[in-house]
């Protein structure tokens, strides 16, 4: 899954339109417009497709956090990460939706996917920690599908 796929899947999971997507990104990036967001959401084979950078996906997720939970107490805006992993995407979604382990397990259940509590915890460890595990694409995909199922 590339960044554009993740953005498209999140759009459908949250049932956002282009305006809501633009509004979420605008919380952290003033220079985004409806046309640009529309190009990110197009399929790769479309002539108007525009690849979404890791920083762009990070900005959307940070904007989603602000949209769902409000701005930081100090009013600062997070700097986008240059590289975003599946672990970071999962972490930011967890923060945006204020989910604990049980809530995340419920989302996975909606997608009919089994993840143990220990496995889930390993995705949120710091890289280099002995219990750290990379989040596979399938896990992230199932989590986003579960979000869409839970919303409907």
**Domain-located, residue 121:** yes
Judge if 117 and 65 occupy the same domain: no
**Domain-located, residue 96:** yes
Judge if 94 and 62 occupy the same domain: no
The per-residue pLDDT for 139 is 97
Judge if 62 and 106 occupy the same domain: no
Judge if 53 and 101 occupy the same domain: no
The per-residue pLDDT for 56 is 93
Judge if 100 and 142 occupy the same domain: yes
**Residues with Cβ within 8 Å of residue 41, at least 6 apart in sequence:** 4, 7, 8, 11, 18, 21
What residue numbers bound the domain in which 12 lies? Answer: 3-69
| Residue 61 vs residues 54, 110, 115: alpha-carbon distances, Å | 11, 22, 23
Of 69, 95, 127, which residue constitutes the final position of a domain? 69
Judge if 60 and 17 occupy the same domain: yes
The per-residue pLDDT for 31 is 82
Number of residues that make up the chain:
152
Q: How many domains does the chain have?
A: 2
The per-residue pLDDT for 29 is 78
Instruction: Say whether 83 sits in a helix, a strand or coil.
Output: coil
| Residue 99 vs residues 34, 49, 52, 55: alpha-carbon distances, Å | 30, 33, 26, 24
Judge if 102 and 60 occupy the same domain: no
The per-residue pLDDT for 75 is 84
Instruction: Return per-residue pLDDT of the chain as tens, 152 residues.
Output: 899 999 999 999 999 999 999 999 999 977 888 999 999 999 999 999 999 999 999 999 999 999 999 998 998 888 989 999 999 999 999 999 999 999 999 999 999 999 999 999 999 999 999 999 999 999 999 999 999 987 76
């Amino acid at each position: 899954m590339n960044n554009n796929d993740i953005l498209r899947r999140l759009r459908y999971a949250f049932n956002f339109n282009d305006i809501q997507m633009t509004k979420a990104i605008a919380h952290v990036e003033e220079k985004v417009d409806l046309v640009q967001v529309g190009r990110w959401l197009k399929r790769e084979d479309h002539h108007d497709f525009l690849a979404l950078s890791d920083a762009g996906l990070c900005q959307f997720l940070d904007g989603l956090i602000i949209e769902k939970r409000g701005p930081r107490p100090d009013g600062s805006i997070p700097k986008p990460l240059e590289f975003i992993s599946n672990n970071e995407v999962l972490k930011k979604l967890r923060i945006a939706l204020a989910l604990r382990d049980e809530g995340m397990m419920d989302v996975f259940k909606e997608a009919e996917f089994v993840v143990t509590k220990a496995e889930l915890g390993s995705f949120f460890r710091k890289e280099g920690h002995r219990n750290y595990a990379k989040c596979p694409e399938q896990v992230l995909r199932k989590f986003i599908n579960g979000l869409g199922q839970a919303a409907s």
